[in-house]
Chain A
Amino acid sequence: MTVAIPQIHYLALAPVLILFGASLALLVASALTRAAMSTRLINGVTLLAALGALVSTFFQWSFVAHHGATTTVAHAIVLDGFSVVASGTIAVGLAMATLVAHDWSIRERLRGADYQILALASASGALIMTQANDLIVLFIGLEILSIGLYVLVVLDRHRATSAEAALKYFLLGGFASAIFIYGAALVYGATGSTNLTSIAYFLGSNVLVHPGLLYAGGAMLLVGFAFKVAAVPFHLWSPDVYEGAPTPVTGFMASIVKVGAFAGLVRVVLSALGTQLNTWRPILWVLIVLTTVVGASLGLVQRNVKRLLAYSSINHAGFILLGIWAGTSRGVGATIFYLMTYVPTVVASFAVVTLVGGVGDDMHAIEHYRGLARRQPWLGGALAVLLLSQLGAPFTSGFYAKFSVLASVVDAGSGVLALIALLAAAIAAVFYLRWILALYSDDDIEATRIEVPRATGLVIGLGVVITVLFGLWPGPLAALAQHATVLFTP
C-alpha cells in the first residue's frame, strides 16, 4: 500500500512558514543560550519575520493575479486574493504590535523571548485561518491562535488581574473551541466532508431531506466564531480579558484575532454554506443588532479605558459582521476594507494606552487622560485622531470603512439593519467623544510628562498616517479590497 503525498505549493504557505519558523528559531535559541538574549535582537528577529511574511504576500498577490486562485495540500489550503490581503493585514498588525512590545518589555523589565515566541506562533495560527479550506485546518489554526494567546495573557506574572483574565479566557475559549469542533463534526455527518469546497459542492447539488443536522452544525460553528470575535451574547469574556492582559497583548489580541476569526467566518458562511445564506441571515441579523447596540451601550458606563476599548471592539465586530450578512462580493470587499483599516488604528490606540499605563501598566482610568493633549499635543492629538477614526468621523479611514459596510447592507436589501447599526454608532460616538474631551480638558491634575520611546512613537505615527491617508484617499485600498474578492474562490 502506498501513501499518496499531496502536492505542496510552498509559496502558498510561505507567510505561515516564515512566522512559525521564526517562532521555533527563537524558542530553540533561547533554550540553548545561557544568558538571556538581548531584547533588541529578539524583537529584531520578530520584526524581520513579520516583514518577511508581508513581503511574501506581495509575491503571493502577483501569483494569484497571474494564475488565479489555487488550492494546495490536497485542497486543504487555499491561496486567493482574500487570503493574501488578510495575511498581509495580519503581518502589518504583528509588526506594529512587536514594536510596541519592545518598548513595553524594556519598561517592565521582562527578559527573554516569551512574548515574541508566542506572538509569532499565534499570528501564524491566524494566517492558517485565513487560508484554511477545511474545517479541521480551520480548527487547528484557531487553536494555534488561541493557545498562544492564553499564555500571552498571563505573561506578566506580577499583574494580579492577569491570571484571573487568563483563566476566564481559557475556560470560555476552550468551551467555544469544543462547540466549534462539534459543529464541524455535525456538518461532516450531514455533508460527508470537512472540506469547504466539497461541502459547498454537496449542498449545491443535493437537497437535504433532514437538514436538522446541518443546521445544528452550522449554528454551532457560528457560535464558536461569535465567541472568538466577541459578538454579543458571547462577549462576556472580552472586557475582563482586555483589562487583565498586559496592554500590548490586548492590542495584539484586538487586532490579529479579529482578522483571523473573521477570515474564517467569511469562508465558512459564504464559501461552504453560501447556498444556505438565507437560512443564516436571520441569525446573523440578531447577532449584529445585539452586538452593535449592546457593545455601544455598555461602553457608555466604563471608566477604564481598556474595558472601554473592549466594548468598542465588540461594536466594531458587529459592523464587520454586516459585510458578511450582505454576503455579496461588495460585502466581502467592505469586510476586508474594514479589517485593513481597523488593524493599524487599534494597534496604535493600544500603543498610546500602553504609554499612559506607565510602569506596572495600571493607570487606565479615563481620569489619567485628562489634559493629555494640552500637555503633550502630539501624543494626545494622535490618540484623538485614532479615536475619531474608530468613531467613524469623516476624513478618517474609519468613516469609509463604516460607510462601505453599511452601503453593502443597504445594497443587499436591509435598510433597517443599516439604520440600527448607524444608531449604535451614534451611541458609541458618545464614549469616544467623552474620552477626546477628557484629552482636551483644562483641569490639569499634577501629571508627569510621558516619555514616548522611539519604536512606540513610530507605531503611533504610522497608525495616524494610515488612518488619515486612507481617510482622505480611500480609493486605492478600497480597490485592492474589491479586487481581492474577485479572486475569492467559492
Chain B
Amino acid sequence: MNVPAAWYLILAAVLFGVGSFGLLTRRSALIMFMCLELMLNAVNLTFVTFARTLGDIGGQATVFFVMVVAAAEVTVGLGIVVAVFRRRSSTSVDELSEMKG
C-alpha cells in the first residue's frame, strides 16, 4: 500500500499542533518538555517526507542534527528542572511567579 506524502505532512502538522498546544496550556514542566520533543519529532517527520518526495538526501541528514539538538536541549532542560525542584519541591510552572511586571 502506498501512503501519499501529504498524509505524512498532515500527521506531522497535527503532531506539531498538539505539541505547541500542550506546551502553551499544560502546567507541569515535565509535560511541557515532552510537548517540546513532540514538536521536534514532527519537524523530523516533515523533513524526511520532503526528502523522500524531493529525492534529496539532505533532508534526511538534517534529522540527525535535529535529534542531537533535541537531546542536548533535554539534558540542559532537565538540569534546570532539577535546580527548580530542589528549591521548591514542585515542577508546576504556576508556582514560579516571583517576578512580575
Q: Which of B49, B58, B77, B84 contacts A164 (CB 8 A)?
A: B84
- The answer to whether B18 has its CB under 8 Å from any CB of chain A is no
- The answer to whether A414 has its CB under 8 Å from any CB of chain B is no
User: A182 and B96: CB pair below 8 A?
Assistant: no
Q: Which of B19, B43, B99 contacts A240 (CB 8 A)?
A: B99
Nearest A residue (CB) for B50 = A189
Q: Which of A170, A185, A307 contacts B101 (CB 8 A)?
A: A307
User: B99 and A175: CB pair below 8 A?
Assistant: no
Which residues on B sit within 8 Å (CB–CB) of A166?
80, 83-84
User: B84 and A171: CB pair below 8 A?
Assistant: no
Which residues on A sit within 8 Å (CB–CB) of B79?
151
User: In the complex, what distance in Å separates the CA atom of A157 from the CA atom of B49?
Assistant: 44
Which residues on A sit within 8 Å (CB–CB) of B16?
178, 182
User: In the complex, what distance in Å separates the CA atom of A459 from the CA atom of B58?
Assistant: 45
User: A170 and B83: CB pair below 8 A?
Assistant: no
Q: How many A-B residue pairs have CB under 8 A?
A: 116
User: B101 and A304: CB pair below 8 A?
Assistant: yes
Which residues on A sit within 8 Å (CB–CB) of B39?
175, 178-179, 182
User: In the complex, what distance in Å separates the CA atom of A179 from the CA atom of B36?
Assistant: 10
- The answer to whether B1 has its CB under 8 Å from any CB of chain A is no
Which residues on A sit within 8 Å (CB–CB) of B84?
163-164, 166-167
Q: Which of B50, B56, B101 contacts A239 (CB 8 A)?
A: B101
For chain A, give the interface size range.
35 or more
User: A171 and B23: CB pair below 8 A?
Assistant: yes
Asked whether A181 and B43 contact (CB < 8 A) given A157-B83, A163-B83, A171-B32, the answer is yes
Interface string of B72-101 (1 = CB under 8 A from A): 110011011101100100000100101101
Q: Closest approach, in angstroms, between the C-beta of B11 and any C-beta of chain A?
A: 14
Q: Closest approach, in angstroms, between the C-beta of A247 and any C-beta of chain B?
A: 15
User: B101 and A302: CB pair below 8 A?
Assistant: yes
User: B73 and A147: CB pair below 8 A?
Assistant: yes
Which residues on B sit within 8 Å (CB–CB) of A188?
47, 50, 58-59, 62
Tell me if B's interface is mostly helix, strand, loop or mixed: helix
- The answer to whether A193 has its CB under 8 Å from any CB of chain B is yes
Interface string of A294-325 (1 = CB under 8 A from B): 00000001111001000000000000000000
Interface string of B24-55 (1 = CB under 8 A from A): 00000100100010011011001101100110
User: In the complex, what distance in Å separates the CA atom of A194 from the CA atom of B47?
Assistant: 11
- The answer to whether A227 has its CB under 8 Å from any CB of chain B is no
User: In the complex, what distance in Å separates the CA atom of A170 from the CA atom of B72?
Assistant: 12
Q: Closest approach, in angstroms, between the C-beta of B50 and any C-beta of chain A?
A: 4
Which residues on B sit within 8 Å (CB–CB) of A170?
73, 76-77, 80
User: A151 and B76: CB pair below 8 A?
Assistant: yes
Q: Closest approach, in angstroms, between the C-beta of A216 and any C-beta of chain B?
A: 10
Which residues on B sit within 8 Å (CB–CB) of A192?
54, 56
- The answer to whether A139 has its CB under 8 Å from any CB of chain B is yes
- The answer to whether A54 has its CB under 8 Å from any CB of chain B is no
- The answer to whether A429 has its CB under 8 Å from any CB of chain B is no
Q: Which of A157, A174, A177, A193 contacts B58 (CB 8 A)?
A: A193
Asked whether A186 and B80 contact (CB < 8 A) given A136-B62, A302-B101, the answer is no
Q: Closest approach, in angstroms, between the C-beta of B99 and any C-beta of chain A?
A: 5
Which residues on B sit within 8 Å (CB–CB) of A304?
101
Q: Which of B20, B23, B42, B99 contacts A243 (CB 8 A)?
A: B99
Q: Closest approach, in angstroms, between the C-beta of B13 and any C-beta of chain A?
A: 9
User: In the complex, what distance in Å separates the CA atom of A186 from the CA atom of B43?
Assistant: 9
Nearest B residue (CB) for A173 = B73
- The answer to whether A470 has its CB under 8 Å from any CB of chain B is no
User: In the complex, what distance in Å separates the CA atom of A117 from the CA atom of B80?
Assistant: 18
Q: Which of B23, B72, B80 contacts A175 (CB 8 A)?
A: B23
User: A163 and B43: CB pair below 8 A?
Assistant: no
Q: Which of A154, A171, A182 contacts B43 (CB 8 A)?
A: A182
- The answer to whether A277 has its CB under 8 Å from any CB of chain B is no
Q: Closest approach, in angstroms, between the C-beta of A246 and any C-beta of chain B?
A: 14
Which residues on B sit within 8 Å (CB–CB) of A302?
101
User: In the complex, what distance in Å separates the CA atom of A164 from the CA atom of B19?
Assistant: 22
User: In the complex, what distance in Å separates the CA atom of A167 from the CA atom of B23?
Assistant: 13
User: In the complex, what distance in Å separates the CA atom of A308 from the CA atom of B50?
Assistant: 45
Enumerate A316-355 residues with CB–CB distance to B below 8 Å: none
User: A147 and B72: CB pair below 8 A?
Assistant: yes
User: A174 and B77: CB pair below 8 A?
Assistant: yes
Q: List 24 A-B contacts (CB under 8 A).
A: A136-B62, A143-B73, A147-B76, A157-B83, A164-B99, A166-B80, A166-B83, A168-B93, A171-B23, A174-B36, A175-B20, A177-B69, A178-B39, A181-B66, A182-B43, A185-B46, A188-B47, A188-B50, A189-B46, A189-B50, A189-B54, A239-B101, A301-B101, A303-B101
Query: Ordered nearest first, which 10 A-B pairs have the shortest CB separation?
Result: A178-B39, A189-B50, A185-B46, A164-B96, A163-B84, A163-B83, A240-B99, A174-B36, A143-B69, A166-B80
Beyond A147-B73, A166-B83, A170-B73: 8 further Cβ-contacts under 8 Å? A163-B87, A175-B36, A182-B46, A185-B43, A188-B58, A188-B59, A194-B59, A239-B101
- CB within 8 Å of B: which residues of A? 136, 139-140, 143, 147, 150-151, 154, 157, 160-161, 163-168, 170-171, 174-175, 177-179, 181-182, 185-186, 188-189, 192-194, 239-240, 243-244, 301-304, 307
